[in-house]
Amino acid sequence: MSYRVIALDLDGTLLTPNKTILPESLEALAKAQQAGVKVLIVTGRHHVAIHPFYQALALDTPAICCNGTYLYDYQAKKVLASDPLAKSQAQQVIEMLDQQAIHGLLYVDNAMLYQTATGHVTRTLNWAQSLPESQRPVFLQVDSLAEAAQSAQSIWKFALSHPDTRALQQFADKVEQQLGLACEWSWQDQIDIAKGGNSKGKRLAQWVESAGYQMSEVLAFGDNYNDLSMLETVGLGVAMGNADEAIKARAGRVIGTNLEPGIAETIYREVL
């Protein structure tokens, strides 16, 4: 079958460990767009941290951000649809984080905020500094996440990182049980917390329908647990070779790692 939409996760999927896009992927995706196929970024990232890749792919589609929490239109520079966290829930998460001494990033409006610098924060800052100034994400240190959350217009998600992944999982379980929020692994040491019901698959399905397509016409690529909601609901869900075995088992196909040209090869085989 020839697919009409290509949905792409970024980290661990389209991006190499050095946060670059393989030349083979760029070429294949450009040819797919020339053939009339819509290419869509579906990511856990904030829209302010997607600029380099959106521009490299020369996209005209909106981006699905923060694991489906919102749909962002880069041309109009506005949010098209969203389901943000309630401020009361965000405050409860922050209180629980303080109690467990777990540090988190807070994604709001047009910025990513942190109170305490962690390894994840340092890596992101270093990456940001490597970019042209116009492409750098807005990444700010604040004195109080609680105060920042209270003054934000929209709270997209928390991104929690901790060296003890077991402690991180226990915290996520507690948040799900007590607050009913959505907790998903987005990296080997990171769990994202968003409004319950939000997922990449759900937001992708909404956009697909609004654009006049069907989910059976979508080819999707992903590597982590937050990608399963789209990998399992599209026409063909493709897991990267660097994904956990549990994800590979639930995907329609498994290709090479994010250092290999499997994405391009799949596009040539299934789309072009």
Residue 244 designated active-site:
no
Inter-residue contact 215 to 201 (CB < 8 Å): no
In sequence order, the 6+-apart residues with CB closer than 8 A to the CB of 243 are: 12, 222, 223, 224, 251, 254
Inter-residue contact 74 to 62 (CB < 8 Å): yes
CA distance 240 to 258: 7
What residue has token string 């397509």?
213
CA distance 252 to 262: 14
* Active site residues per annotation: 9
